[in-house]
Amino acid sequence: MIIIRDDMPEGIVAMEGVGEITREDYQDIIRPELERSFAHGEKIRFFYILGSQFTGFEPGALIDDAKLGIKHLGDFERIAVVCDVKWVNKAVKLVSFATPSPLQTFAVEEFDQALAWLQQ
Name residue 50's amino acid.
L
What pLDDT, on the 0 to 100 scale, is given for residue 66? 77
Q: Tell me which residues of the chain have a pLDDT lower than 70.
A: none
Integer angstrom CA distances of residue 69 from 10, 33, 98, 110, 116 = 22, 14, 10, 24, 23
pLDDT tens sequence across 60-84: 887 887 788 778 878 999 999 999 9
- Considering the segment(s) 2-115 as one domain, its CATH architecture is 2-Layer Sandwich (3.30)
All structural domains of the chain with their residue ranges: 2-115
CA gap 25, 89 in Å, rounded: 20
CA gap 94, 99 in Å, rounded: 10
